[in-house]
Protein backbone atom coordinates (compact mmCIF):
# COMPACT_ATOMS: atom_id res chain seq x y z
CA UNK A 1 0.00 0.00 0.00
CA UNK A 2 1.01 3.65 -0.27
CA UNK A 3 1.99 5.67 2.81
CA UNK A 4 3.67 8.92 3.78
CA UNK A 5 7.29 8.27 4.79
CA UNK A 6 9.71 10.66 6.51
CA UNK A 7 12.64 11.66 4.28
CA UNK A 8 14.55 14.34 6.24
CA UNK A 9 17.70 13.95 4.11
CA UNK A 10 15.87 14.60 0.81
CA UNK A 11 14.79 17.92 -0.69
CA UNK A 12 11.14 17.17 0.28
CA UNK A 13 10.68 16.31 4.00
CA UNK A 14 8.24 13.48 3.23
CA UNK A 15 7.37 11.20 0.29
CA UNK A 16 4.51 8.84 -0.58
CA UNK A 17 5.98 5.36 -1.01
CA UNK A 18 5.05 1.68 -1.20
CA UNK A 19 5.22 0.09 2.27
CA UNK A 20 4.15 -3.31 3.68
CA UNK A 21 0.51 -3.74 4.73
CA UNK A 22 -0.03 -2.95 8.47
CA UNK A 23 -0.63 -5.91 10.80
CA UNK A 24 -3.15 -5.05 13.56
CA UNK A 25 -2.45 -6.14 17.16
CA UNK A 26 -5.40 -7.88 18.92
CA UNK A 27 -6.65 -4.55 20.33
CA UNK A 28 -6.36 -2.74 16.97
CA UNK A 29 -8.75 -2.29 14.07
CA UNK A 30 -7.63 -1.95 10.45
CA UNK A 31 -8.98 1.27 8.93
CA UNK A 32 -9.15 2.35 5.26
CA UNK A 33 -8.06 5.96 5.62
CA UNK A 34 -10.09 8.52 3.63
CA UNK A 35 -8.71 11.79 5.03
CA UNK A 36 -6.13 13.06 7.50
CA UNK A 37 -4.93 16.35 8.91
CA UNK A 38 -1.58 17.93 9.65
CA UNK A 39 -0.67 19.58 12.98
CA UNK A 40 1.96 22.24 13.63
CA UNK A 41 3.70 19.89 16.09
CA UNK A 42 4.12 17.30 13.32
CA UNK A 43 6.15 19.73 11.20
CA UNK A 44 8.87 19.55 13.85
CA UNK A 45 8.70 15.76 13.93
CA UNK A 46 9.57 15.63 10.20
CA UNK A 47 12.94 17.15 11.14
CA UNK A 48 13.78 15.15 14.26
CA UNK A 49 12.44 11.67 13.38
CA UNK A 50 14.64 9.29 11.35
CA UNK A 51 14.52 8.45 7.66
CA UNK A 52 11.69 5.98 7.02
CA UNK A 53 9.60 6.95 10.09
CA UNK A 54 5.87 7.01 9.32
CA UNK A 55 3.97 10.12 10.51
CA UNK A 56 0.26 10.69 11.03
CA UNK A 57 -2.04 10.98 14.05
CA UNK A 58 -5.37 12.44 12.83
CA UNK A 59 -7.34 10.18 10.52
CA UNK A 60 -10.87 9.37 9.41
CA UNK A 61 -12.03 6.42 7.32
CA UNK A 62 -13.88 3.12 7.29
CA UNK A 63 -13.21 0.10 9.51
CA UNK A 64 -12.10 -2.79 7.28
CA UNK A 65 -11.45 -5.22 10.10
CA UNK A 66 -12.52 -4.60 13.73
CA UNK A 67 -10.16 -5.22 16.66
CA UNK A 68 -9.91 -8.96 17.42
CA UNK A 69 -10.49 -8.31 21.13
CA UNK A 70 -13.95 -6.90 20.31
CA UNK A 71 -13.13 -3.32 21.32
CA UNK A 72 -14.17 -0.38 19.16
CA UNK A 73 -16.45 0.01 16.13
CA UNK A 74 -17.53 -2.81 13.80
CA UNK A 75 -16.51 -3.50 10.19
CA UNK A 76 -17.94 -0.92 7.80
CA UNK A 77 -18.25 1.83 10.45
CA UNK A 78 -17.25 5.35 9.40
CA UNK A 79 -14.84 6.55 12.09
CA UNK A 80 -12.59 9.34 13.33
CA UNK A 81 -9.41 8.09 15.01
CA UNK A 82 -6.23 9.09 16.78
CA UNK A 83 -3.13 7.02 15.98
CA UNK A 84 0.32 7.30 17.57
CA UNK A 85 1.90 7.53 14.10
CA UNK A 86 1.72 5.88 10.64
CA UNK A 87 -1.83 7.13 10.08
CA UNK A 88 -1.11 8.90 6.80
CA UNK A 89 -1.46 5.85 4.62
CA UNK A 90 -4.05 3.99 2.57
CA UNK A 91 -4.62 1.73 5.58
CA UNK A 92 -3.76 2.20 9.26
CA UNK A 93 -4.12 0.28 12.52
CA UNK A 94 -5.89 2.00 15.43
CA UNK A 95 -6.56 0.82 19.01
CA UNK A 96 -10.29 0.21 19.44
CA UNK A 97 -10.57 2.78 22.24
CA UNK A 98 -9.01 5.60 20.18
CA UNK A 99 -11.81 5.93 17.64
CA UNK A 100 -15.45 6.97 17.45
CA UNK A 101 -18.22 6.31 14.95
CA UNK A 102 -19.17 9.31 12.82
CA UNK A 103 -22.75 10.53 12.53
CA UNK A 104 -23.92 10.13 8.91
CA UNK A 105 -23.84 13.88 8.23
CA UNK A 106 -20.20 14.36 9.31
CA UNK A 107 -17.81 14.35 6.36
CA UNK A 108 -14.51 12.47 6.57
CA UNK A 109 -12.69 15.76 5.92
CA UNK A 110 -14.31 17.57 8.87
CA UNK A 111 -13.73 14.55 11.10
CA UNK A 112 -10.03 14.41 10.20
CA UNK A 113 -9.59 17.90 11.66
CA UNK A 114 -10.75 16.74 15.09
CA UNK A 115 -8.37 14.38 16.91
CA UNK A 116 -5.31 16.38 18.06
CA UNK A 117 -6.70 19.89 17.58
CA UNK A 118 -10.23 19.11 18.77
CA UNK A 119 -9.12 17.14 21.81
CA UNK A 120 -6.73 19.95 22.69
CA UNK A 121 -9.47 22.57 22.34
CA UNK A 122 -11.98 20.55 24.37
CA UNK A 123 -9.59 19.53 27.12
CA UNK A 124 -7.88 22.90 27.59
CA UNK A 125 -11.32 24.50 27.95
CA UNK A 126 -12.24 22.01 30.68
CA UNK A 127 -9.68 23.78 32.89
CA UNK A 128 -12.14 26.71 33.04
CA UNK A 129 -15.35 24.69 33.49
CA UNK A 130 -18.10 25.67 33.96
CA UNK A 131 -17.66 28.24 31.17
CA UNK A 132 -21.16 29.71 31.26
CA UNK A 133 -20.87 33.47 31.51
CA UNK A 134 -17.07 33.50 31.81
CA UNK A 135 -14.63 35.68 29.86
CA UNK A 136 -12.30 33.45 27.80
CA UNK A 137 -9.35 34.47 25.63
CA UNK A 138 -7.95 32.24 22.88
CA UNK A 139 -4.53 32.91 21.34
CA UNK A 140 -3.64 31.50 17.91
CA UNK A 141 -7.39 31.69 17.31
CA UNK A 142 -7.08 31.40 13.52
CA UNK A 143 -5.13 28.15 13.85
CA UNK A 144 -6.15 24.53 14.14
CA UNK A 145 -6.69 24.39 17.90
CA UNK A 146 -7.66 28.04 18.27
CA UNK A 147 -10.60 28.14 15.87
CA UNK A 148 -12.12 24.99 17.38
CA UNK A 149 -11.56 26.23 20.95
CA UNK A 150 -13.20 29.56 20.11
CA UNK A 151 -16.35 27.80 18.84
CA UNK A 152 -16.55 25.26 21.68
CA UNK A 153 -16.07 27.98 24.31
CA UNK A 154 -18.90 30.04 22.81
CA UNK A 155 -21.10 26.93 22.59
CA UNK A 156 -20.41 26.41 26.31
CA UNK A 157 -21.67 29.88 27.18
CA UNK A 158 -18.40 31.80 27.48
CA UNK A 159 -17.78 35.27 26.07
CA UNK A 160 -14.77 34.79 23.84
CA UNK A 161 -12.04 37.19 22.79
CA UNK A 162 -10.03 35.67 19.94
CA UNK A 163 -6.46 36.78 19.21
CA UNK A 164 -5.23 36.72 15.59
CA UNK A 165 -1.97 37.93 14.05
CA UNK A 166 -3.53 39.92 11.22
CA UNK A 167 -7.08 41.12 10.51
CA UNK A 168 -7.52 38.78 7.52
CA UNK A 169 -6.78 35.79 9.79
CA UNK A 170 -10.05 36.54 11.59
CA UNK A 171 -12.17 36.47 8.44
CA UNK A 172 -13.18 32.81 8.75
CA UNK A 173 -13.35 32.74 12.53
CA UNK A 174 -16.75 31.72 13.92
CA UNK A 175 -18.02 32.16 17.44
CA UNK A 176 -15.82 34.96 18.76
CA UNK A 177 -17.53 37.86 20.50
CA UNK A 178 -14.48 39.96 19.78
CA UNK A 179 -11.48 39.48 17.50
CA UNK A 180 -8.31 41.41 18.32
CA UNK A 181 -5.08 41.73 16.34
CA UNK A 182 -2.53 40.82 18.99
CA UNK A 183 -3.14 40.02 22.66
CA UNK A 184 -2.05 43.55 23.67
CA UNK A 185 -5.31 44.85 22.18
CA UNK A 186 -7.45 42.61 24.43
CA UNK A 187 -9.52 44.55 26.96
CA UNK A 188 -10.10 43.52 30.55
CA UNK A 189 -9.37 40.36 32.51
CA UNK A 190 -10.16 36.75 31.65
CA UNK A 191 -11.17 33.76 33.75
CA UNK A 192 -9.54 31.39 31.25
CA UNK A 193 -6.77 32.05 28.74
CA UNK A 194 -5.63 29.42 26.24
CA UNK A 195 -2.04 30.35 25.42
CA UNK A 196 0.01 28.70 22.69
CA UNK A 197 2.16 31.46 21.14
CA UNK A 198 4.60 31.86 24.06
CA UNK A 199 7.14 34.71 24.44
CA UNK A 200 5.51 38.14 24.72
CA UNK A 201 2.05 36.57 24.24
CA UNK A 202 2.39 34.51 27.43
CA UNK A 203 3.71 37.58 29.28
CA UNK A 204 0.63 39.54 28.14
CA UNK A 205 -1.62 36.63 29.13
CA UNK A 206 -0.32 36.87 32.69
CA UNK A 207 -1.25 40.56 32.68
CA UNK A 208 -4.79 39.69 31.51
CA UNK A 209 -5.74 36.85 33.85
CA UNK A 210 -8.40 37.34 36.54
CA UNK A 211 -7.71 36.68 40.21
CA UNK A 212 -8.10 32.90 40.61
CA UNK A 213 -8.24 32.62 36.82
CA UNK A 214 -6.30 30.05 34.76
CA UNK A 215 -3.83 30.34 31.90
CA UNK A 216 -3.51 27.01 30.12
CA UNK A 217 -0.06 26.95 28.50
CA UNK A 218 -0.27 24.38 25.72
CA UNK A 219 2.22 25.51 23.09
CA UNK A 220 5.09 27.78 22.17
CA UNK A 221 4.54 28.49 18.47
CA UNK A 222 6.88 31.51 18.58
CA UNK A 223 9.73 29.49 20.09
CA UNK A 224 10.37 32.49 22.36
CA UNK A 225 10.92 32.26 26.14
CA UNK A 226 8.90 34.34 28.63
CA UNK A 227 10.65 36.04 31.55
CA UNK A 228 8.47 35.54 34.59
CA UNK A 229 8.48 36.89 38.13
CA UNK A 230 6.18 36.19 41.07
CA UNK A 231 5.39 39.92 41.14
CA UNK A 232 3.81 39.63 37.67
CA UNK A 233 0.97 37.79 39.41
CA UNK A 234 0.68 40.25 42.31
CA UNK A 235 -2.37 41.98 40.78
CA UNK A 236 -3.89 38.60 39.80
CA UNK A 237 -3.93 36.84 43.17
CA UNK A 238 -4.12 33.06 43.14
CA UNK A 239 -4.17 32.89 39.33
CA UNK A 240 -2.89 29.58 38.00
CA UNK A 241 -0.51 28.79 35.12
CA UNK A 242 -1.47 25.31 33.99
CA UNK A 243 0.71 23.09 31.79
CA UNK A 244 -1.11 20.86 29.34
CA UNK A 245 -0.71 17.76 27.16
CA UNK A 246 -3.77 16.66 25.19
CA UNK A 247 -2.51 13.08 25.27
CA UNK A 248 -2.06 12.61 29.00
CA UNK A 249 -4.45 15.19 30.45
CA UNK A 250 -7.23 12.59 30.71
CA UNK A 251 -7.24 8.79 30.95
CA UNK A 252 -6.87 6.60 27.83
CA UNK A 253 -10.48 5.49 28.03
CA UNK A 254 -11.62 9.08 27.51
CA UNK A 255 -10.33 9.23 23.92
CA UNK A 256 -13.34 7.51 22.31
CA UNK A 257 -16.02 9.47 24.24
CA UNK A 258 -14.25 12.78 23.60
CA UNK A 259 -13.85 12.02 19.88
CA UNK A 260 -17.54 11.08 19.80
CA UNK A 261 -18.45 14.35 21.56
CA UNK A 262 -16.47 16.40 19.04
CA UNK A 263 -18.09 14.54 16.13
CA UNK A 264 -21.55 15.14 17.63
CA UNK A 265 -20.83 18.89 17.88
CA UNK A 266 -19.94 18.88 14.17
CA UNK A 267 -23.09 16.88 13.44
CA UNK A 268 -25.40 19.32 15.25
CA UNK A 269 -23.76 22.31 13.56
CA UNK A 270 -22.28 23.88 16.69
CA UNK A 271 -18.69 23.08 15.65
CA UNK A 272 -17.61 23.83 12.10
CA UNK A 273 -13.97 23.09 11.30
CA UNK A 274 -12.53 25.57 8.80
CA UNK A 275 -10.51 23.56 6.30
CA UNK A 276 -7.95 23.93 3.58
CA UNK A 277 -8.53 20.67 1.66
CA UNK A 278 -5.96 19.13 -0.66
CA UNK A 279 -4.81 15.83 -2.14
CA UNK A 280 -2.30 14.02 0.05
CA UNK A 281 0.12 14.36 -2.86
CA UNK A 282 0.31 18.08 -1.95
CA UNK A 283 1.30 17.47 1.69
CA UNK A 284 4.94 18.53 1.24
CA UNK A 285 3.87 21.81 -0.41
CA UNK A 286 1.28 22.67 2.26
CA UNK A 287 3.60 22.08 5.25
CA UNK A 288 5.51 25.35 4.75
CA UNK A 289 2.21 27.27 4.45
CA UNK A 290 1.16 25.96 7.87
CA UNK A 291 4.57 26.80 9.33
CA UNK A 292 4.35 30.36 7.90
CA UNK A 293 0.87 31.03 9.34
CA UNK A 294 -0.82 30.98 5.92
CA UNK A 295 -3.37 28.25 6.77
CA UNK A 296 -6.61 29.29 8.44
CA UNK A 297 -8.02 26.48 10.55
CA UNK A 298 -6.82 22.99 9.57
CA UNK A 299 -5.00 21.58 6.56
CA UNK A 300 -6.82 18.36 5.62
CA UNK A 301 -5.75 15.87 2.95
CA UNK A 302 -7.75 13.33 0.94
CA UNK A 303 -6.31 9.92 0.23
CA UNK A 304 -7.01 9.93 -3.51
Ligand X SMILES: NC(=O)c1ccc[n+]([C@@H]2O[C@H](COP(=O)([O-])OP(=O)(O)OC[C@H]3O[C@@H](n4cnc5c(N)ncnc54)[C@H](OP(=O)(O)O)[C@@H]3O)[C@@H](O)[C@H]2O)c1
Provide the binding-site residues for ligand X, judged by CB under 6 A: 39-41, 116-117, 120, 140, 142-146, 164-165, 169, 196-197, 218-222, 244-246, 290, 293
Instruction: Please report how close the Cβ of residue 164 comes to ligand X at its closest, in angstroms.
Output: 4
**Is the Cβ–Cβ distance between 139 and 193 less than 8 Å?**
yes
Nearer to ligand X, 6 or 72 (CB): 6
CB of 148 to ligand X, least distance (A): 8
∠ CA 207-208-212 to the nearest 5 degrees? Answer: 100
**Beta carbon of residue 195, minimum distance to ligand X (angstroms, whole number):** 9
Please, which residue, 107 or 169, has the CB nearer to ligand X?
169
Report in angstroms how near the CB of residue 142 gets to ligand X at its nearest.
4
**Which residue lies nearer to ligand X by CB, 30 or 80?**
80
Q: Strand, coil or helix: what is 46?
A: helix
Question: Residue 30 pairs with which residues in a beta bridge?
Answer: 65, 93
Residue 85: CB minimum distance to ligand X, A:
15
Amino acid sequence: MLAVVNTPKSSAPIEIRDVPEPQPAPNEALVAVRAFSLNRGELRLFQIRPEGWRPGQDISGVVLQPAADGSGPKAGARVVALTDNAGWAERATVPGHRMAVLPDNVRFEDAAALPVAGLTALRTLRHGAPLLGKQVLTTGAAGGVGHLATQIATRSGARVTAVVGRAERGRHLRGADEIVEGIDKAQGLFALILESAGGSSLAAAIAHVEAKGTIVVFGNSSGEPTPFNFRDLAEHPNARIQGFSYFTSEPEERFAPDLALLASLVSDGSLKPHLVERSWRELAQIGPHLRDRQISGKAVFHID
